């Protein structure tokens, strides 16, 4: 679809939802679950470390791997897509950012009140009682053989502190999911950026937006199947810069 038409949709929109996936953070150098891991973690399957069962079976291995991911995030910087999305808030009456990413790059770029559907690497909690734990900037042991780090203990019940992300088999955080649904159902323009829309229930959001009459635009490097009611722009996440410039100069 021509960028000029998408830009016109932006100009006319009253409430824009930007829904982001791993493709946005990947442009900041953050590996996705589909990427081949390198170095210390090359021999591990990321999906097999992303369950409560894996954590309970080997807490130090699982915690060490997630701390490695958190370190990668802290060493990365928001890219042009993150910055453009934050800048969009200055041009439209209402902007809601919903992300499947577990990093804080949207916030560091300047986006406010980001809805994190899959939790955050920076919000660990007790695996037993749910007590919120402040994550220290301590990565000692990440470069030792095996990469194991003993997880902290909960100050309330002495249980292990687990990463604050949503693992396979877990429900999305109720508050975040409700907020994401409400935004999708009350917007008039829905951008899906850097996600193929195949991971449910998060992939339901563009469908909800479409069902209430919103225009839905997918921005992704690789083309995938969409309905005749949706629009597709092929390219990197940073193409949002071009759209905003075209719409608002």
State yes or no: pLDDT of 36 exceeds 70: no
Region of 194 please: left (phi>0), alpha (psi -120 to 50) or beta: left
Specify whether the CB–CB gap between 227 and 210 falls below 8 A: yes
Q: How confident is the model at residue 249 (pLDDT cuts 50, 70, 90)?
A: confident
Tell me 36's DSSP state: P
Name residue, tokens 């940073």: 238
Domains of the chain are 1-30+78-121+171-249 (3.40.50.1220), 31-75+125-162 (3.30.1600.10)
Taking CA atoms, 86 is separated from 37, 72, 94, 240, in Å, by 30, 22, 12, 11
Task: Give alpha helix (H) positions in 156-248.
Answer: 174-185, 204-211, 239-248
The structure tokens 């016109």 sit at 8
Residues marked active site are found at 118
Say what the pLDDT of residue 196 is: 82
Residue 145, pLDDT score: 43
Residue 33 is encoded by which pair of tokens? 């679950």
Q: What is the chain's mean pLDDT, rounded? A: 90
pLDDT band at 138 (very low <50, low <70, confident <90, very high): low
Q: Residue 208's pLDDT is what?
A: 97
Q: Is the pLDDT of residue 35 over 70?
A: no
The pLDDT of residue 160 is 97
pLDDT digits (tens, 9 = 90+) for 80-128: 999 999 999 999 999 999 999 999 999 999 999 999 999 999 999 999 9
Q: Is the pLDDT of residue 31 over 80?
A: no
The two three-digit tokens of residue 193, written as one number: 């950026």
Distance CA 165, CA 169 (A): 12
| pTM flag (> 0.75) | yes
- 75 membership: H or E segment, kind and range: helix 59-75
């Amino acid at each position: 679809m021509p960028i000029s038409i998408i830009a016109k949709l932006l100009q006319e929109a009253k409430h824009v939802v930007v829904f982001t996936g791993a493709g946005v953070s990947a442009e900041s150098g953050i590996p996705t679950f589909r990427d081949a891991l390198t170095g210390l973690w090359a021999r591990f399957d990321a999906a097999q470390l992303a369950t409560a069962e894996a954590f309970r079976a080997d807490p130090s291995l699982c915690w060490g791997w997630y701390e490695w991911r958190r370190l990668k995030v802290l060493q990365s910087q928001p890219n042009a897509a993150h910055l453009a999305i934050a800048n969009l808030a200055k041009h439209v009456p209402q902007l809601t950012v919903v992300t499947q990413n577990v990093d804080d790059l949207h916030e560091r770029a300047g986006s406010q009140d980001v809805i994190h559907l899959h939790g955050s690497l920076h919000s660990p909690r007790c695996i037993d009682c749910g007590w919120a734990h402040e994550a220290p900037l301590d990565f000692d042991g990440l470069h030792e053989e095996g990469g194991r780090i003993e997880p902290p203990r909960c100050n309330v019940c002495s249980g292990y502190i687990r990463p604050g992300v949503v693992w396979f088999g877990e429900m999305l955080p109720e508050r975040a999911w409700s907020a994401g649904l409400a935004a999708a159902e009350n917007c008039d323009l829905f951008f899906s950026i850097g996600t193929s829309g195949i991971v449910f229930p998060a992939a339901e959001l563009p469908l909800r937006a479409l069902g209430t009459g919103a225009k839905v635009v997918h921005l992704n490097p690789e083309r995938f199947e969409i309905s005749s009611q949706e629009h597709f722009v092929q390219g990197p996440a940073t193409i949002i810069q071009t759209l905003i410039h075209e719409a608002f100069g």
